[in-house]
Structure 1
Amino acid sequence: MESTNTKSNNNKLPSNLPQLQNLIKRDPASYREEFERQHSVYEALCIIFEQNPTVNNNDLHQMVTFLSQVAQCYPDKLSDFPQEVSVMLKRHSTVLHPDMRMSFVKALMLLRNKNLLSPTDLHMLFFQLLQCQDKILRKFLKQHIVTDIKNINARSKNAKLNKELQNFMHEMLASRHAVAAKTSLDVMVELYHKKVWNDTKTVNTISTACFSKVTKIMVAALKFFIGKDEEEEGGDKESDNSDSDDEEEKKTVKATVMAMKVNKKTRKKQRKLTKVKAVVKKSQKEKKNKVNFDFSALHLVHDPQTLAERLYHRLEKMNERFEVKLMTMNLISRLIGIHQLYLPNFYPMVTRFLFPHQREVTKVMVFAAQAAHPQVPPDDLSPVLRTLADNFVTERYSSEVMAMGLNAIRELCARNPYCMSDSLLQDLTQYKTHKDKGVMMAARSLITLFRERNPELLFKKDRGAPTELGAEKRQENFGEIQAVNYIPGAEILAFKTDGDEGLGTSDEEGDDNWMEVSDDDDSDANDNKEAEEKKDKEEGDETDDEEKEQVFSAKDALKEVMKLTADERAQKAGDVACSRFFTDEDFARIAATQAAKRVEKFTKSSNKKKRGKKRKGPEESAGSASTGELVPLKNIEMIFKKRKHDKDARMESVAGGREGREKFGVKKGRMNPHASTTNREKIKGKNFMMLKHKVAGKQKHSFRSKQIKLKNALLKQKKFK
Structure 2
Amino acid sequence: MEPSKTSNNNNKLPSNLPQLQNLIKRDPESYREEFERQRAVYEAMCVIFEQNPTRYNDDLHQIIMFMAQVAQCYPDKLKEYPQELMTLLKRHGSVLHPEMRMSFVKALVLLRNKNLISPTDLHKLFFQLLHFQDKNLRKFLKEHIITDIKNINAKCRDMKLNKELQNFMHEMLVSRHAVAAKTSLDVLIQLYHKRVWKDAKTVNIISNACFSKVTKIMATAIRFFIGKDDEEEDKGSDSDSEGEGTKVDLKAAVMANKVKKKTKKQKKQLEKIKSLAHKNQKKKTTKASFDFSALHLVHDPQTLAERLYRRLEKMNERFEVKLMTMNMISRLIGVHQLYLPNFYPMVQRFLFPHQQEVTRVMVFAAQAAHSQVPPDDLEPVLKTLADNFVTERYSNEVIAMGLNAIRELCLRNPYCMSEDLLQDLTQYKSHKDKGVMMAARSLIAVFRDKNPELLRKKDRGAPTELTVEKKQEKFGENTAKSYIPGAEILAFKTNEIEDFGSDSDSDSDDGWVDVSSGNYDVTFDAVAADDNDDDEDIKNRVKKKTGEEDDDEKIYSAKEAVKEVMKLTAEERASKAEDIVSSRFLTDEDFARIAAAQAFKQVEKFNQSKKNKRGKKRKQMEDEVTREAQELVPLKNIEMIYKKRKHDREARMETVMAGREGRTKFGATKGRLNPNASTTNREKAKSKNFMMMKHKNAGKQKMSFRDRQQRLKLALLRKKKFRV
Q: Give the TM-score band, short-chain normalised.
A: 0.7 to 0.9
* Residue identity opposite 1:492 in structure 2: I
Is the aligned partner of 1:427 residue 2:443?
A: no
Offset of 1:596 from its aligned partner? 2.4
Listed as ranges, the matches of 1:346-361 within 5 Å are 346-361=343-358
Alpha-carbon displacement from aligned partner over 1:110-168 (angstroms, at most 9, x marks no partner): 11111111111100000000011000000000000000010011001111111111111
2:532 corresponds in structure 1 to 523
Is the aligned partner of 1:620 residue 2:617?
A: no
1:638 corresponds in structure 2 to 640
1:447 corresponds in structure 2 to 444
Is the aligned partner of 1:469 residue 2:466?
A: yes
Structure 2 residue ranges without an equivalent (≥5): 235-288, 514-525, 543-548, 679-717
Is this contact kept in 1: 2:429–2:438, CA < 8 A? yes
SS of the residue aligned with 2:312?
A: helix
2:332 corresponds in structure 1 to 335
Distance 1:193 1:220 in 2: 14
Alpha-carbon displacement from aligned partner over 1:585-613 (angstroms, at most 9, x marks no partner): 43343233222222321111112456689
Instruction: Give the 3 Å change call, closer, same or farther, for CA 103–155 of structure 1 in structure 2.
Output: same
Distance 2:23 2:507 in 1: 74
Distance 2:453 2:673 in 1: 59
* TM superposition score normalised by structure 1: 0.77
Give me the CA root mean square deviation: 3.7
Is the aligned partner of 1:596 residue 2:600?
A: yes
1:185 corresponds in structure 2 to 185
2:55 corresponds in structure 1 to 55
Offset of 1:656 from its aligned partner? 6.0
Instruction: Give the 3 Å change call, closer, same or farther, for CA 703–396 of structure 1 in structure 2.
Output: farther
Is this contact kept in 2: 1:388–1:409, CA < 8 A? yes
Instruction: Give the 3 Å change call, closer, same or farther, for CA 641–560 of structure 1 in structure 2.
Output: closer
Is this contact kept in 2: 1:489–1:590, CA < 8 A? yes
Listed as ranges, the matches of 1:69-84 within 5 Å are 69-84=69-84
1:436 corresponds in structure 2 to 433
Offset of 1:562 from its aligned partner? 1.8
Distance 1:499 1:138 in 2: 63
SS of the residue aligned with 1:597?
A: helix
Instruction: Give the 3 Å change call, closer, same or farther, for CA 500–117 of structure 1 in structure 2.
Output: closer
Distance 1:106 1:316 in 2: 47
Is the aligned partner of 1:575 residue 2:579?
A: yes
Alpha-carbon displacement from aligned partner over 1:343-377 (angstroms, at most 9, x marks no partner): 00000000000000000000000111111111111
Distance 2:226 2:157 in 1: 27
Distance 1:530 1:71 in 2: 82
Offset of 1:51 from its aligned partner? 0.7
* Residue identity opposite 2:62 in structure 1: Q
* Residue identity opposite 2:597 in structure 1: T
* Residue identity opposite 2:410 in structure 1: C
Is this contact kept in 2: 1:399–1:439, CA < 8 A? yes
Is this contact kept in 2: 1:393–1:402, CA < 8 A? yes
Greater mean deviation of Cα atoms: 569-578 or 490-499:
490-499
Instruction: Give the 3 Å change call, closer, same or farther, for CA 448–704 of structure 1 in structure 2.
Output: farther
Instruction: Give the 3 Å change call, closer, same or farther, for CA 57–437 of structure 1 in structure 2.
Output: same
Distance 1:40 1:16 in 2: 16
Instruction: Give the 3 Å change call, closer, same or farther, for CA 227–41 of structure 1 in structure 2.
Output: same
Distance 1:52 1:17 in 2: 25
1:629 corresponds in structure 2 to 631
SS of the residue aligned with 1:171?
A: helix
Greater mean deviation of Cα atoms: 361-370 or 500-509:
500-509
Is this contact kept in 1: 2:188–2:206, CA < 8 A? yes
1:681 corresponds in structure 2 to none
Alpha-carbon displacement from aligned partner over 1:301-323 (angstroms, at most 9, x marks no partner): 00000000000000000000000
Greater mean deviation of Cα atoms: 76-85 or 3-12:
3-12
Alpha-carbon displacement from aligned partner over 1:516-574 (angstroms, at most 9, x marks no partner): 687544425x247789999xxxxxx9x9x9xx555555444433322222112111211
Q: 2:372 is matched with which residue: 372, 375, 388?
A: 375
2:698 corresponds in structure 1 to none
Is the aligned partner of 1:8 residue 2:8?
A: yes
Distance 1:28 1:530 in 2: 85
Listed as ranges, the matches of 1:300-315 within 5 Å are 300-315=297-312
Instruction: Give the 3 Å change call, closer, same or farther, for CA 617–658 of structure 1 in structure 2.
Output: same
Distance 1:583 1:126 in 2: 54
Instruction: Give the 3 Å change call, closer, same or farther, for CA 472–52 of structure 1 in structure 2.
Output: same
2:198 corresponds in structure 1 to 198
Is this contact kept in 2: 1:166–1:202, CA < 8 A? yes
Is this contact kept in 1: 2:445–2:624, CA < 8 A? no
Is this contact kept in 2: 1:407–1:635, CA < 8 A? yes
Instruction: Give the 3 Å change call, closer, same or farther, for CA 533–37 of structure 1 in structure 2.
Output: closer
Is this contact kept in 2: 1:378–1:418, CA < 8 A? yes
Distance 2:30 2:374 in 1: 83
Structure 1 residue ranges without an equivalent (≥5): 235-291, 535-540, 674-701, 709-721
Instruction: Give the 3 Å change call, closer, same or farther, for CA 531–65 of structure 1 in structure 2.
Output: closer
Is this contact kept in 2: 1:492–1:590, CA < 8 A? yes
Distance 2:541 2:312 in 1: 77
* Residue identity opposite 1:20 in structure 2: L
Is this contact kept in 1: 2:484–2:581, CA < 8 A? yes
1:715 corresponds in structure 2 to none
Instruction: Give the 3 Å change call, closer, same or farther, for CA 401–703 of structure 1 in structure 2.
Output: farther
Is this contact kept in 2: 1:173–1:182, CA < 8 A? yes
* TM superposition score normalised by structure 2: 0.77
* Residue identity opposite 1:409 in structure 2: I
Offset of 1:448 from its aligned partner? 1.2
Distance 2:502 2:646 in 1: 47
Question: Which of the pair has more CA radius of gyration?
Answer: 1
Alpha-carbon displacement from aligned partner over 1:378-429 (angstroms, at most 9, x marks no partner): 1111111110000001000011111111111111111111111111111111
Aligned residue-pair number: 605
Greater mean deviation of Cα atoms: 127-136 or 18-27:
18-27
Greater mean deviation of Cα atoms: 76-85 or 133-142:
76-85
Offset of 1:78 from its aligned partner? 1.3
Offset of 1:294 from its aligned partner? 5.4
Is this contact kept in 2: 1:411–1:625, CA < 8 A? no
Instruction: Give the 3 Å change call, closer, same or farther, for CA 24–357 of structure 1 in structure 2.
Output: same
Is this contact kept in 2: 1:500–1:554, CA < 8 A? no
Instruction: Give the 3 Å change call, closer, same or farther, for CA 26–347 of structure 1 in structure 2.
Output: same
2:29 corresponds in structure 1 to 29
Distance 2:379 2:617 in 1: 37
Identity %: 71
1:415 corresponds in structure 2 to 412
Greater mean deviation of Cα atoms: 442-451 or 595-604:
595-604
